[in-house]
Amino acid sequence: MGEAAFWGFVGASSLIVAAEFAFAFKLSRMVIGLIMAFGVGALISSVSFELVAPAMDVADTWKVAVGLALGSAVFFLGDRAIANMGGGNRKSPDGSDGGGSGLGIVLGTVLDGIPESAVLGMSLVGGGGVSVALLAGIWVSNFPESLGSTVGLTKGGWQKNKIRLLWLGIVLVSALSAAIGYVIVNNISALSGVLVESFAAGALLTMIADEMAPEAFDRSAIYAGLATVAGFALAAWLTSVG
């Protein structure tokens, strides 16, 4: 469980790194878009090869489909609730979300991070090592979220140390989620494990389609496809050698 918490912390650590980048540099929309597109490809690859494919090997297709549908529905409803609370533009690279929706930013980022971190913890069950591909995809996907949110909070008048504490708290929640994911899968039946993993896959895919992919294209236009394929290829390679 301790190892799962550690890797959950590592996967979410890009939230803190990106905040420091936002304090020190002003990255262009193109660069942010390319980073996000790369993360899209890496996460799609990880979801496909690390979650859905293994689940299909040990369970009926309809059971995996049920998990995917439930994960998608829960993320969709939660994300709409966050948007209504003022966090709809929490990843805006130009800071348009401002500081008035701090709670929406926090809840939205936690909502994104919990299934990702839980899946990391699940991947360690049975003595297996951490999935490098999934870890890389999660790290990259968190970076632009924190980058855009930090810019918005700074423009909204938040102090740097307060923002740092905010992201540190979310990183700790992610570490806890990874530990919980490990404990859950380690103590339930194989079928339940399949449902949990497919649930997480559905949530991640919905997040990619609703948020990451459109924003990546909006910021990097025609180059988004190239960066996405690069991320997918790298993650697939890491999966094959991991």
Closest listed residue to residue 4, CA positions, set 136, 163, 155, 123: 123
3-state SS class at 213? helix
Q: For 130-162, how does the pLDDT look when each residue is reduced to its tens digit (9 = 90+)? A: 777 778 777 877 787 787 678 777 877 888 999
Highest mean pLDDT among 81-85, 163-167, 181-185, 187-191: 163-167
Q: Check residue 108 and give its pLDDT.
A: 59
CB 78 within 8 A of CB 114: no
Q: For 217-229, how does the pLDDT look when each residue is reduced to its tens digit (9 = 90+)? A: 888 888 999 999 9
Closest listed residue to residue 97, CA positions, set 35, 145, 162, 140: 145
* Structural domain boundaries, residue 130: 2-241
Domain count, the chain: 1
SS3 of 129-183: the string is CCCHHHHHHHHHHHHHHHHHHHHHHHHCCCCHHHHHHHHHHHHHHHHHHHHHHHH
What is the distance between the alpha carbons of residues 47 and 52, in angstroms, rounded to a whole number? Answer: 6
> Could you give the percent of the chain with pLDDT greater than 90?
12
Q: Check residue 20 and give its pLDDT.
A: 94
pLDDT, the chain, mean: 78
